[in-house]
Every structure is written in C-alpha cells, then in structure tokens.
C-alpha cells in the first residue's frame, strides 16, 4: 500500500501563485513569514506522514468500540492526539488572547489537507472542535470564552456541534430537543441528537457540545431555536449527556458517529435566544470549507495511490508500440486511458487546492476588523464560492477516489491495497454538512438568484479582468478566450433559469445540481488559468529553477481545458431540460 507523501511543491506553488506571504502581511499576521510558513509545513508534513498516515488503515479495520456509553478509538489514535496537542497544532490558527498562536486561519486550512489525506477519520476529532470554537468566539460571553474556549484552543478538550435529530437533518426547523430554564440561569436539555461526529471518545478529558434546542416559549419552526453549551463534564462532574450508541457506517470507521442522549443535561445559552440558526450560519461556511478539504484530501490520496501503481504494474503493449522491450509488457501508465484517469485526479486535486486556498484568503480578509470594499468583496465571494467548493470538490473527490480504484483493476476492490477505503471514506463528504443538492439550492437560490445575480456578476467581471490581463502572455490566449466565453455563458444561463423560475419555482430545484457542477468546472477553469499564468510568469525569469514543474502545471491546465472542461456542455444542456419531465408524474405513479 502506498504511503501518503505531502505534496509540498504543489502546495508552495499555489501559495506563490496567491502571493501568500504578502497576504499574511496585509492582514497583519506579521509572523507568518515565508520561512515560518515553510517550517510549519515541514513539521506538519512530518507528523502527518509519520504518525497519522500509518494509522489510517488501522482505524478502518478496528473502528471505534462502544461499551456502555464509552467509546474507545482505534489503536494509536489517542497517542497521536496527545502528541498533536503537545506539538501545539490545535492552537496554530487561533487568536493569541485565547491561547492561540495567531497564525492566519488560511494557514490552518492548508494544514487541514495534510491531516485529511493522511487520516481523515482521525483528523475529524480535532476538526470538529472548530465549530464549537467558532461559535464560542463569536457568540460566547467573556466568561464562556474563558471557561470553554481556552481548553478547546489548547486541544485539552474537544468540541462538537449537535444539530441533527432522527426526524430532521436539513430541515432543522423540525427539531424537538427541549431546553427548560432553571432558576440559576442554566437550562435542562432533553432530547436525542444523532450523527454527532466525535460526540464521545477517549482522546481528550472533556467534550463541549454546542446543542441546538428549543425553549418552551419559543415559536415552532426555525425561528424558535437557540444554541446551548453542554459540557460532558461540568466542573469535573458527569453531566446528564450520554452516548447511546455509535453508528455502523460505510467508512470513516475510526471516527465515532454518536447518538447523544441529553437527559436533563445542564446547558448554558450562548448567543441570543431564538437566534440559534443565525448563529449557526457563521459556523456553516467554515464547516463546508473543511468538508471541501476532505474532497481535496481524497483526490490527492487517490492520485498518489493510483500513480504509484500505474508506474509499477505492467499489462499489454502501448498502442503506439512497445515502450519496455526488455519486459514482457509495458507499464500501464503508458496507456492513454490510464493517463486520462490519472490526469483527471491530478487536475482536480491541484485545481481544488487553489480554490480552497483562495477561500482561505477570503476568510482571513472577511474577518478583518476594518470593514471596507475588500472585506465586503471577500465576504460576498466566500458566500458564492463556498457551496460550489463544498459540493463540487466532494463530488469530484468521489470521482477521483473511484478512478483511483479503477486504475488498480480488480485489485482496487481488495482491502489490502487501500484504494477501496478511500472510496468509502470519501462517500460521506457529499452527504454531511449539507448534501450536494442542498449546497446547490443554496448557491442558485440564495447566493445567486436572491440578489439577481449581482455577486455572480462581480465575480465573472473579475474573471474577465484577469483574462484580459493574462493575455499579455500570448500562450495564455486560448485559456483566456475560452474562460471569457464560459463566464459569459454562465451569466446567460443564470438569467435563463431566473426567468423560468419566475413562472415556476421548481425550476430552481430542478436545475440546481447541474448548475452547481457547471459553476464548479468554470471556477476550476479560472483557478487553472491563474496557475498557468503564474507558471508562464515564472518561466519568463531566465533564472527560473523549477522549469519542469512549471511546464507540467501548464500541461495539466491544458488537459483540464481539453478533456474535463467540456463537461460543462452536457451539464448545461441537461439543466436546460427544465422541470417539466421531473414534475409531471404524481408521487404514487413512481
């Protein structure tokens, strides 16, 4: 089985393309110098490759054990977590006032890919804390921050977000969990939450649950939901929250997915009463980007695995003549169709990395204290691009995982090669934190049509400005022309759906998934064009050292434009098919 190697060069290439160290200076993260970033990346790479990656298959095989409310994580998980905390990783991108190291959130985002590729199931334990930290930082009182945020930042404790209930996932307005006020200002929480990742485990001494619940006098539906802090241990004593069972899942076996029973558990209101869902939205973007990272991690891991196999396995002769005359057959990487699969994974991975880092930059900028045109733009683009990144990158991640398996032929189906685990682990990514359909509805309904395409227009305008600028390098012209056309087509398509939707709202839901995928291919084309521009620019320097790498980046961009981007044409024609053939059958005629 191939062991994960951090794609350090590719990471630095994207950071350079984005002028990342300048960005860090701009946002006031003065300590994030080139040298510092390089050192952090190196250390993270070492940890992920040496400690986390070897536990990935172990985690899948052993899974978590549940026994009378307690969860035991797989062999080695706890030791790795302790070391992770000792090395200070949880606090890397947290604010100094809460014990953090003050590095930009975008850098945490970069590191997340490494942990995710090495061992996603493990990485979720610390990853899930972010939702709780985010909520505490934005909505907690000073005392709540002191009490709960600090041990989360240090990694001493972990956190969860308790949203889903058996009868509701997407539609949180249906939730039943109750919060009864006590005289001391605390609340008694009653209800059952399901699908709580890292809801119970043996890695840390305490777990802080952020729970959505309804007060007795709150209205029904989504406007009557509030947020509560419910710690597993309260001043060292057991609270009345217990893990009822863990789910048996297709993958991510190393991560405990818990049923959490709140049986009069003591909780504390955080944020304004009945505004729980609004407070959640601040966390949603983060969680979606983190899930997009899972897609990227999947692509990278699947690519590395299948590439290693394609350079080792021999079968048949190349159609253009023998490549290894001394061997009984050629390496399968000599076959065009195997290359199509490898390059698809590679182009997805490198393009998605650029998109995810770009989102990280927007997060940093949007959070700046002084709000101006730049922060507004970052916030708007973050809103527009986050559902695209979440759904497109996870869908393309699943495709990459399946292609990785496909390169292995029948061996891909056998557990020991590790490829089928990637497929199983990745499969959750298009479901949790909002399914692909939900992201698509958010994109088309809320982020595009509800502002009459204004933000999209701003974004496509930016693409067009870039295209014009990039044409000063003549080799960029084919990319730029294609991209300008596409960005105009994107706007036109949006307009057409918008007009149809005025007559029939179902048109939005009927078109949204293919619209999102179309948008994803277009956005990735923009990412790739920027990387090609960056590579051409680097090659113009006579002292350029990594010539071959830059040439290969341009070649991968060419592959993307020639062999993947045309998928937009099928997506466009499918979505223009409209909603009539979807809705004409009555439900019981199906």
Q: How many residues bind its own copies (CB under 8 A)?
A: 101
Shortest distance (Å) from residue 278 CB to its own copies: 18
Smaller CB distance to its own copies: residue 217 or 589?
589
Site for its own copies in 245-264 (CB under 8 A): 247-251
Binding region for its own copies (CB under 8 A) out of 208-216, 223-231, 456-464, 566-574: 566-574
Strand 157-162, strand 206-213: pairing: parallel
146 DSSP assignment: I
Distance CA(372)–CA(95), nearest Å, equals 22
* Alpha carbon distance 338, 344 (integer Å): 10
482 binds its own copies (CB under 8 A): no
Q: Among residues 311, 376, 485, 547, which is the contact residue for its own copies, using CB under 8 A?
A: 311
Of residues 338 and 363, the one with the C-beta less far from its own copies: 338
CB of 88 to its own copies, least distance (A): 33
Confirm or reject binding of residue 552 to its own copies (CB under 8 A): yes
| DSSP state letters, 162-207 | E--BTTBSS-GGG---EEEEPTTS-EEEEEEEEEEETSS-SSSSEE
| Residue among 258, 159, 275 at smallest CA distance from 222 | 275
431 contacts: CB under 8 Å, gap ≥ 6: none
Residues 381-410 close enough to bind its own copies by CB under 8 A: 398, 402, 405-406, 409-410
Of 17-25, 223-231, 309-317, 530-538: span binding its own copies (CB under 8 A) = 309-317
Mutual orientation of helices 454-470 and 506-540 as an angle, nearest 10°? 20
Q: Which one of 40-48, 324-332, 374-382, 522-530 is the stretch in contact with its own copies (CB under 8 A)? A: 324-332
Interface map 161-200 toward its own copies (x if CB under 8 A)? ---x--xxxxx-xx--------------------x-----
How far, CA to CA in Å, does 62 sit from each of 109, 298, 405, 415, 542? 29, 21, 22, 13, 54
Q: Which of residues 500-529 bind its own copies (CB under 8 A)?
A: 504-510, 512-513
Q: Which two tokens stand for residue 452?
A: 């009459």
Question: Of residues 156, 278, 318, 491, which one binds its own copies by CB under 8 A?
Answer: 318
Query: How many angstroms from the chain centroid is the CA of residue 506?
Result: 28
According to the binding rule CB under 8 A, does residue 8 interact with its own copies? no
Is-contact 256 64, C-beta < 8 A? yes
Residue 300 bears catalytic tag = no
HEC sequence for 471-492: CCCHHHHHHHHHHHHHHHHHHH
Asked whether position 570 contacts its own copies by CB under 8 A, the answer is: yes
Tell me 331's DSSP state.
Answer: B
Of 366 and 571, the one with the shorter C-beta distance to its own copies is 571
Q: Let me know: does 494 contact 458? Beta carbons within 8 Å.
A: no
Does the footprint of its own copies cover residue 355 (CB under 8 A)? no
Q: Is residue 568 within the footprint of its own copies (CB under 8 A)?
A: yes
Among 51, 212, 343, 523, binds its own copies (CB under 8 A): 343
């Amino acid at each position: 089985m191939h062991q994960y190697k951090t794609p350090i060069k590719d990471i630095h290439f994207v950071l350079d393309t984005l002028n990342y160290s300048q960005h860090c200076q701009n946002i006031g993260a003065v300590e994030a110098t080139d040298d510092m970033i390089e050192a952090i990346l190196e250390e993270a790479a070492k940890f992920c490759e040496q400690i986390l990656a070897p536990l990935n298959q172990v985690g899948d095989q052993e899974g978590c054990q549940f026994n009378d409310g307690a969860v035991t994580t797989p062999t080695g998980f706890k030791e790795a977590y302790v070391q992770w905390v000792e090395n200070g990783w949880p606090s890397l991108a947290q604010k100094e006032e809460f014990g953090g190291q003050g590095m930009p959130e975008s850098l945490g985002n970069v590191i997340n890919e490494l942990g995710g590729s090495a061992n996603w199931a493990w990485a979720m334990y610390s990853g899930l804390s972010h939702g709780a930290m985010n909520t505490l930082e934005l909505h907690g009182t000073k005392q709540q921050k002191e009490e709960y945020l600090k041990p989360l930042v240090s990694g001493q404790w972990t956190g969860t977000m308790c949203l889903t209930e058996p009868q509701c996932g997407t539609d949180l307005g249906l939730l039943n969990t109750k919060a009864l006020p006590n005289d001391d200002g605390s609340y008694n929480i009653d209800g059952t939450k399901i699908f709580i990742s890292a809801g119970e485990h043996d890695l840390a001494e305490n777990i802080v649950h952020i729970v959505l619940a309804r007060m007795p006098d709150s209205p029904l539906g989504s406007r009557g939901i509030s947020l509560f802090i419910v710690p597993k241990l309260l001043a060292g004593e057991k609270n009345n929250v217990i893990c009822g069972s863990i789910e048996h899942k297709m993958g991510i076996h190393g991560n405990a997915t818990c049923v959490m029973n709140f049986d009069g558990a003591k909780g504390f209101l955080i944020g304004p009463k009945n505004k729980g869902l609004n407070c959640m939205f601040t966390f949603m973007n983060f969680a979606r980007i983190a899930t997009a990272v899972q897609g990227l991690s999947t692509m990278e891991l699947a690519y590395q695995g299948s590439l290693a196999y394609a350079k080792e396995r021999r079968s048949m002769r190349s159609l253009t003549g023998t490549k290894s005359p001394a061997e009984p057959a050629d390496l399968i990487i000599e076959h065009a169709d195997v290359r199509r699969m490898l390059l698809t994974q590679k182009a997805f991975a490198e393009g998605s990395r650029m998109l995810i880092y770009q989102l990280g930059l927007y997060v940093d900028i949007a959070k700046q204290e002084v709000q101006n045109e730049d922060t507004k733009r970052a916030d708007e683009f973050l809103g527009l691009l986050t559902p695209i990144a979440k759904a497109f990158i996870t869908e393309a991640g699943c495709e990459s995982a399946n292609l990785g398996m496909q390169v292995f032929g029948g061996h891909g189906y056998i557990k020991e090669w590790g490829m089928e685990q990637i497929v199983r682990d990745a499969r959750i990514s298009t479901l949790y934190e909002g399914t692909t359909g939900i992201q698509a509805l958010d994109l088309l309904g809320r982020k595009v049509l509800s502002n009459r395409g204004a933000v999209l227009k701003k974004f496509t305008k930016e693409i067009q400005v870039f295209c014009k600028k990039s044409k000063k390098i003549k080799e960029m012209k084919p990319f730029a022309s294609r991209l300008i056309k596409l960005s105009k087509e994107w706007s036109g398509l949006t307009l057409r759906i918008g007009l149809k939707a005025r007559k029939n709202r179902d048109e939005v839901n009927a078109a949204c998934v293919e619209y999102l995928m179309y948008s994803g291919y277009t956005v990735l084309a923009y990412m790739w064009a920027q990387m090609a521009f960056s590579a051409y620019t680097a090659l113009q320097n006579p002292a350029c050292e990594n010539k071959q790498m830059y040439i290969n980046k341009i070649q991968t961009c060419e592959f993307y434009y020639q062999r993947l981007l045309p998928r937009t044409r099928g997506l466009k024609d499918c979505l223009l098919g409209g909603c009539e053939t979807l809705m004409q059958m009555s439900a019981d005629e199906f």
